[in-house]
Amino acid sequence: MEPRHPLGQCGACLGYGDGLQPEPGRKRDLLRVYPRHGLYSSTDGRHFTRLTTQPTAGLASGLCPAGSNATSCLIYRGEFAVVPGRNEMYVWVVDVQPDGFGNPTPVDEGIWRSTNGGTSWTAIPDNGITNCGDSAFGPNSGCGVEQGYYNLELSAVRIPRLFNGTDLYAGAINLYKCTFASGGTTCTQGDWINLTHVYGCNPGPLGHRRTCIRTSTESRLWLRVAKR
């Protein structure tokens, strides 16, 4: 069943309300993204309340009035990732704004980390995502959150061998990987690694892609990249 919108019968349901995830350390609590409203939590899966602390300045309460779809509220889509067995979660926030010709353009509002259920957030540097190195259609082709209103995934895998570190996977057109040591917020390898380089060479046989990432409590990762 689709969780009930906090404003009643879908009074503000533009975009993608993605990222439904269990809250770390709380078996019944759920977290969800609502477009043009922000991040919400629920204890029953039906009624959702806006988090007091939002990860980005663009989600301040004054920019996200209840009962409206204000474009001043800078979130169109988001994805959560929860580390199995730990009070550690991540969210990737993407907005959509018109470019100079009026075309909808995704805007990266950052990847954020919380270790206290969303009470506070720390920004994760996205070097290597914004400048992924591909150039089939010009500098940084397919980098950042291009097509992020459609292609967006985030998943986290715990790494016991790295003193309880974390592998974080972020997917838009490309799939990226960042490894964190325990408690770290920067990639141990420096920048995010571009694992796919979709537009790094002749893109003809690749086409546009849809990425699906799934993990298990045994720290295993499944990846499906499909041509669409």
For the stretch 27-47, pLDDT in tens is 557 889 999 999 999 988 888
pLDDT band at residue 116 under the 50/70/90 scheme = very high
Total number of residues shown for the chain: 228
**Integer Cα distance of 130 and 72 in angstroms:** 23
Report the pLDDT averaged over residues 115-143: 91
Which backbone phi and psi does 205 adopt, to 5 degrees? Answer: -75, -10
Q: One-letter amino acid identity for 63?
A: L
Bridge partners of residue 165, in order along the sequence: 159
150 CB-near residues (< 8 Å, 6+ apart):
210
Most confidently modeled range among 20-34, 90-104, 138-152, 201-215? 90-104
**Integer Cα distance of 215 and 34 in angstroms:** 24
pLDDT band at residue 201 under the 50/70/90 scheme = low
Q: One-letter amino acid identity for 93?
A: V
Which backbone phi and psi does 177 adopt, to 5 degrees? Answer: -135, 135
